[in-house]
């Protein structure tokens, strides 16, 4: 009886999640979405029988039912139950974001599930004990899951909350070298030849700016109607713009590791530059401290070092970090070259700002634009500070978005870590050399943020920088995420492939003809998909 009650609780919770979405109707949808819940109930029945202790059985039932209830508002918003990576991310640094969604309307469905869990044991008390026929029906439902999943898109809602959390504790091993083999398996024309820029920044200092939660499509130089970052727009007009740059993962710390993992700080430090990284957030978030230490910076400072007049759970206001960076520059020996990395937090949910922005709306997108505008003001203030010191025209800048930010462009796609659509992984990338007198340029070929370090070194004239974007050879960009579904993907020319490693389903988009990724061409281009699949980890 406890196992049947648990299945019904899980089913009610799953129904509450599905009610908030817009999954395409299909006869396969119900078996796909409830099969794992049946599997959990069967496993619980076996464990309950083996334990033979009713009180312990009811305690386990209560814990699983409560976990199912907690997951309802998450699933309704993000089309996924909580996973281990999501739980690790939702620690103290994200308390403000969690509180933002803890509303009465958001928590009401969870309260309903709790009520159902409390009432079901009494309602089933007089019902006949579930026999072998009920168990057989549950087993049949559980067995139908893989078949159904191959025929219907669930956006990850097929997962039962307990299993989703357990799977994340055992991450998949990645195939060695899959990010490195980026030559297209199909004939492709050469990209723009930018080798004339090689060595153009020789002798300059380097400023690297990783814009937080900044999708390319949100900025005017990449096609947006609005202009939340006018200073970045100016940089794009004067610098070298990559129109189709991709983050290797829509998560800040992993992206930072990919960019700095090219030993950029160590290479520039060995060449005599003073190196520093300033972050408006906190290094103790998701192992960031380990990534920053491994990068080899001489100076590392986060929100705790910077201080500031306005603190949130995620960090401090950007003007305080800009002042700290300029103080560090002032302390350098006269004429010293430097490598300064700036990691703002403006742009991160819940999109709080230290000053009002141009957009008056209270909706998430307007708040996000204001947060991007605040980051833009900070970047401008850093440039102005270097100009006042006579240093701006002795620098080369690399400015990129660490990942995108989604606002429901695709069902269940909010934030940045859950999917691999364009709003999640396509990011702005521009290299700027103030005062160089060079006309700006735009490159339409595919680029990856793992190429930022080699490109900076190539601009500085350092020999032996494989992977530089100044080379005309066309390459693919790879990306992956595992916060919700275990997704991997690639962009090759006009094509973009996304594969769910959990279900094996693949989606293929022609992003030049279909930039909103609404038409899945995987069935029509099955031969291409098979070739690309071989390049991705399974």
Domain boundaries, the chain: 2-167, 195-408+420-428
pLDDT digit string, tens, across residues 234-276:
999 999 999 999 999 998 888 898 899 878 999 999 999 999 9
pLDDT digit string, tens, across residues 365-389:
999 999 999 999 999 999 999 999 9
More confident residue, 231 or 131: 231
For the cut 70, the answer to whether the pLDDT of residue 189 exceeds it is yes
Per-chain mean pLDDT for the chain: 87
Distance of alpha carbon 41 from alpha carbon 138, whole angstroms = 8
Mean pLDDT of 41-63: 86
Closest CA to 398 of 423, 351, 431, 420: 431
Given this model, what pLDDT does residue 109 score? 84
Q: Which tokens hold the place of 109? A: 């469905």
pLDDT digit string, tens, across residues 432-452:
999 988 777 999 999 999 999
Q: Which residues pair with 448 in a beta bridge?
A: 246
Fold for the domain defined by 195-408+420-428:
Alkaline Phosphatase, subunit A (3.40.720)
Go through 259-275 and write b for each residue having 16 or more CB atoms within 10 A of its CB, e for each that does not: bbebebbebbbeeebbb
pTM over 0.85: no
Distance of alpha carbon 484 from alpha carbon 87, whole angstroms = 11
For the cut 60, the answer to whether the pLDDT of residue 89 exceeds it is no
Structural contact between residues 212 and 346, judged by C-beta atoms closer than 8 angstroms: yes
Given this model, what pLDDT does residue 301 score? 94
Given this model, what pLDDT does residue 477 score? 95
Given this model, what pLDDT does residue 91 score? 54
* Top-confidence range, 71-80, 126-135, 361-370: 361-370
Given this model, what pLDDT does residue 180 score? 64
């Amino acid at each position: 009886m406890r196992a049947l009650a648990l299945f019904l609780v899980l089913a009610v919770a799953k129904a509450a999640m599905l009610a908030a979405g817009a999954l395409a109707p299909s006869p396969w949808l119900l078996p796909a979405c409830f099969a794992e819940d049946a599997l959990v109930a069967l496993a619980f029945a076996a464990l309950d029988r083996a334990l033979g202790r009713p009180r312990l059985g009811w305690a386990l039932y209560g814990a699983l039912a409560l976990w199912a209830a907690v997951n309802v508002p998450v699933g309704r918003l993000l089309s996924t139950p909580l996973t281990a990576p999501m739980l690790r991310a939702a620690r103290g640094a994200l308390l403000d974001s969690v509180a933002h969604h803890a509303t009465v309307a958001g928590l009401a469905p969870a309260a309903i599930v709790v009520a159902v869990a409390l009432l079901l044991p009494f309602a089933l008390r007089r019902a006949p004990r579930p026999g072998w026929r009920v168990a057989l029906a549950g087993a049949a439902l559980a067995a139908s899951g893989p078949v159904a999943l191959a025929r219907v898109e669930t956006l990850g809602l097929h997962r039962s909350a307990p299993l989703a959390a357990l799977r994340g504790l055992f991450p998949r091993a990645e195939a060695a070298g899959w990010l490195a083999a980026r030559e297209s398996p199909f004939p492709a024309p050469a990209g723009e030849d930018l080798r004339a820029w090689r060595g153009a920044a020789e002798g300059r200092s380097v400023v690297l700016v990783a814009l937080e939660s900044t999708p390319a499509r949100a900025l005017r130089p990449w096609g947006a109607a609005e202009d939340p970052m006018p200073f970045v727009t100016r940089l794009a007009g004067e610098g070298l713009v990559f129109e189709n740059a991709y983050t290797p993962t829509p998560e800040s710390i992993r992206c930072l590791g990919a960019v700095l993992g090219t030993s950029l700080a160590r290479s520039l430090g060995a060449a005599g530059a003073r190196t520093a990284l300033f972050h408006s957030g906190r290094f103790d978030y998701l192992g960031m401290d380990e990534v920053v230490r491994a990068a080899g910076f001489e100076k590392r400072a986060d929100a705790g070092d910077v201080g500031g007049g306005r603190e949130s759970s995620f960090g401090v206001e950007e003007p305080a970090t800009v002042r700290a960076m300029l103080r560090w520059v002032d302390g350098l020996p006269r004429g010293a070259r430097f490598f300064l990395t700036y990691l703002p937090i403006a742009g991160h949910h819940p999109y709080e700002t230290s000053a009002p922005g141009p957009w008056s709306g209270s909706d998430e997108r307007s708040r996000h634009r204001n947060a991007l505008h605040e980051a833009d003001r900070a970047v401008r203030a850093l440039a102005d500070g270097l100009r006042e010191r006579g240093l701006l025209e002795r620098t080369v800048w690399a400015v990129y978005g660490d990942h995108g930010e989604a606002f429901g462009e695709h069902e269940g796609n909010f934030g940045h870590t859950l999917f691999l659509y364009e709003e999640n992984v396509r990011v702005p990338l521009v290299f700027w050399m103030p005062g160089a007198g060079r006309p700006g340029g735009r490159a339409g070929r595919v680029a990856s943020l793992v190429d930022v370090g080699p490109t900076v070194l190539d601009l500085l004239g350092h020999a032996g920088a494989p992977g530089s974007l100044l080379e005309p050879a066309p390459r693919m960009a790879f990306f992956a995420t595992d916060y919700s579904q275990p997704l991997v993907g690639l962009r090759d020319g006009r094509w973009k492939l996304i594969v769910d490693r959990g279900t094996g389903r693949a989606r293929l988009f022609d992003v030049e003809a279909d930039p909103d990724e609404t038409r899945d061409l995987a069935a029509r281009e099955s031969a291409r998909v098979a070739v690309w699949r071989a390049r991705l980890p399974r």
